[in-house]
Structure formats: C-alpha cells, structure tokens
Amino acid sequence: MDNYTEINKSSLVNILTLRYDPSIKPDLHPKTHNDFVFNESSIGIQNIEDIICEEIENKLDLFGDDKLSIALSGGVDSTLALTLFRKIKPQKKIHAISLKFADSVDETPAAAKIAEKFDAEHHIVFLENYLSELPKAISIIKMPFWDLHWYYVVKKAKTLSKTLISGDGGDELFAGYTFRYNKFLSLTSDNSTPLEKVKAYLQCHERDRVSDQESVFGKECNFSWEKIYGKLLPFFDNDLSRINQVYLADFNGKLLYNFIPINTRIIDYFGMNLLTPLLNDKFISLAPHISTKNKYDEQNNIGKLPLRKLLEKYNVSSLIGKEKLGFNVNTINLWKTKGHVLCKEYFDKSRLIESGLINKEWITKYIDNSELEINYVNKFLGLLACEIWYRLFITKEMKDSETLD
C-alpha cells in the first residue's frame, strides 16, 4: 500500500484480515523454521543483561546521551529497558512517557511508581479522543492502521528529547503473547495438520477475527481464504514444536510488517533517534534458539521468563503484573463514545464501497448493533482507517490536518 496512485487490493485484504501486509519489504530479514531450532549454547540470563546493556551503551555513544526519553507502559519490556538504562547512567536525566486513555483502564499509576523508583521525570499524555489525529498519523505511516498509540508517544517525546528508548521486540523474541499461546495449544495437537494449525492460529487472534470475514469485502477484492492460509502455511509446515511454530509466525507477522515499519516511519517523521535495546541484532539472531521452557511457563501461562528474572534481580518484579496490557485503549468504550459516530459519517458515502472494495451489506448489518462485540468493533475501526487512507492518498479529498472530533 505504498503506492499512492492506486490501491493494492491484496494489501487491503491482508491488512483487514491479518492486520499486516506481507507484500511490503521489511526492514528485518524474515525468519525460517531453522532459526527457531533449540540450541544448547544459546544465551543465558547474564548474557541477556550484558547484550541489553551493550546495546544501550553503543547507541548512546552514537546518538549522544543528552535529552533522553523512554516510552513507559509499566510492562516488562519498557521497565527492564529503564532498569538497565539507570544501571548504566545512574545520574543521567531521562523523561518517561505514559499514555492515559479516556474510559479505559488507567495503568499510569503503576508506571509512575516505576518512573519514581528510577528517578525518571514522568509525563502522562491524556487522550480524550484516541482517534482525533488519525488522518495525520496515517499520512505519516502511509498505511491504513488505526491503533497508532506510538504516534502520540513520539509526538510528546519530540518536545522533550532527541532519543526515545522503547521496549519493542520483547514479545516476539521472548514469548510475550501468552493470551494466544494457551488457546492455540488447546485447539491443536501434535497430530494436527499444518492447515489445521493455521486455522487455529487465526482463531487465536480473537480481537481481530470475525466469523464472516469473507463478507467484509466487495467483489473487486476477490477475497480467498486459500490465499490467506497460503501466507501462513510455511510457519506451520515444519518439524518445530507447535509453540515454536507460533513464535515463528509471530515474528514474521506484525513485528516485521506492522510494528517496525509503523514505528520507524513515525520516528523518522519527527526526526528522532530510536533506541530499542531488546530488538538488536544479537537478540534477533540468538533469542529464537532459546528453549521454550526458558521463555514460557505453559502451566501458568507466563511468558518472558528471562526478562522477568532480570527484573527480580533488580527488585522490580513486584511492580509488574503477569497480564499483558501495555498501552491499551478500551476499544468498546472508544466505539461507544467516538468510533460509532465516525464510522456512520464516513461510511454513509464510503469511497471504499463506491469502488466495490467493501461490501455495503456487511456495514449495514452491523454498524448500528448496540451490542457489537470487540472483534467487530476492531474490524470497523480498521475499515475506518482504510477509508481515511483512501481519501488521503487515492481521491486526495482529505487533508492530513483534519481531525476526527
């Protein structure tokens, strides 16, 4: 979807089905099943700490260590990044940035305690309308995604610093998506076929998946489940354990084709330096070879075990919850307060519908459902992002300065 003169129909299908587009060129090389084979000589806890510290030191030597900030959600990854930063730079001033969403669980008190422990100046960005600056954010990333909290983090960081530290990469490299693993293992067995595992993997993305996905699209898109399955089959048609197959699919999915390109484009737009100590070349090479038992506690459904052990070492683990939230907006409340009205407005005369790309009957069937489930809400917000992208880049009738208020 980097082509601004016409829409790539397969990209539209990919984004609205997978929430990423594997047709774009990634900044990192994709992984194969050979990269996830257990290696006895893979890294231990001390090695992990040393690699993180080395990455922080090297990047601060490159970028300079004045005017620093960190995206602090209060989760494992960002807290560990701040912990080890403070070990290296015990006196250096750093700003910590957290987001607070209207009508959502407020995680900023936990983040504030972590910031206080490590003497970081804490800044809370309150977002009354999370969708307000969506046209601007989409114009920057040039892709139709709506969940763009990173835009607000970097926008604030620009006012405080030159370099932004982030905990990105911890989920994909150290088994952070525990809400998905448990369900996948319960839906499959060692005797499941690759196709059965692909279908189970898609089913585990509960926040994105709707039962009538094929009905979302108009005739122009030629939607095909076989094409979607074909993109995922290589990750499950190999000799890896089932959980390692999920790790492989996760790495080659949203990390490569959503998180990294989105974050990079926003960072570049604001002229910032980005320091991601968990997403460095050594970890990308070595972490996939760590045995599952050293990353993920299947019985208790807890991931990122080596990172949690490091937090225990520095007496920080009591400040971290077991459940993964991160920067998390309450999507149902967002729909009720802002999303529904906006979708009604934009789909009243939808350019996507007029172009035969999206099915008007599907929109009409669900848009006024007062009990709309979260997966359908997410689908509507994804469609809204696509509609805005289309008006920005194809019809060019919309300006990026417009807000959705």
pLDDT band at 322 (very low <50, low <70, confident <90, very high): low
pLDDT of residue 53: 97
List alpha helices for 296-339, DSSP H.
305-313, 331-334
Report the share of the chain in percent with pLDDT over 70.
Answer: 96
Across 275-303, average pLDDT: 93
92 and 123 Cβ atoms separated by less than 8 Å = no
pLDDT of residue 7: 82
21 and 257 Cβ atoms separated by less than 8 Å = yes
pLDDT of residue 328: 80
Burial of 281 (0-12, 13-18, 19+ CB in 10 A): exposed
User: Tokens 């995922």 sit at which residue?
Assistant: 232
pTM of the complete model: 0.95
pLDDT of residue 401: 97
User: Tokens 């529904």 sit at which residue?
Assistant: 340
Residue 5: pLDDT over 60: no
User: How many C-alpha atoms does 142 have within 13 Å on its Cβ side?
Assistant: 14
Residue 177: pLDDT over 70: yes
Residue 148: pLDDT over 90: yes
User: Tokens 């997410």 sit at which residue?
Assistant: 378
Considering the chain, what is the average pLDDT of its residues? Answer: 94
Across 166-175, average pLDDT: 95
Residue 402: pLDDT over 80: yes
Residue 325: pLDDT over 60: no
* Nearest Cα residue to 276 out of 186, 358, 171, 187: 171
pLDDT of residue 192: 98
Residue 42: pLDDT over 70: no
Delineate the domains of the chain, giving CATH numbers in brackets: 9-19+330-393 (no CATH), 25-329 (3.40.50.620)
pLDDT of residue 25: 92
pLDDT of residue 206: 77
Per residue in 206-221, pLDDT (tens digit) is 777 899 999 999 999 9
pLDDT of residue 41: 61
Residue 179: pLDDT over 60: yes
pLDDT of residue 61: 95
Compute φ and ψ for 106, nearest 5 degrees: -95, 105
38 and 282 Cβ atoms separated by less than 8 Å = no
Q: Cβ contacts of residue 194 below 8 Å, gap of 6+?
A: 233, 236, 237
pLDDT band at 266 (very low <50, low <70, confident <90, very high): very high
Across 178-205, average pLDDT: 96
> Do you know the residue count of the chain?
405
Residue 4: pLDDT over 80: no
Residue 326: pLDDT over 80: no
Edge-to-edge order in the sheet of strand 94-101: 121-127, 94-101, 68-71, 163-165, 273-275
Report the share of the chain in percent with pLDDT over 90.
Answer: 89
Across 258-285, average pLDDT: 96
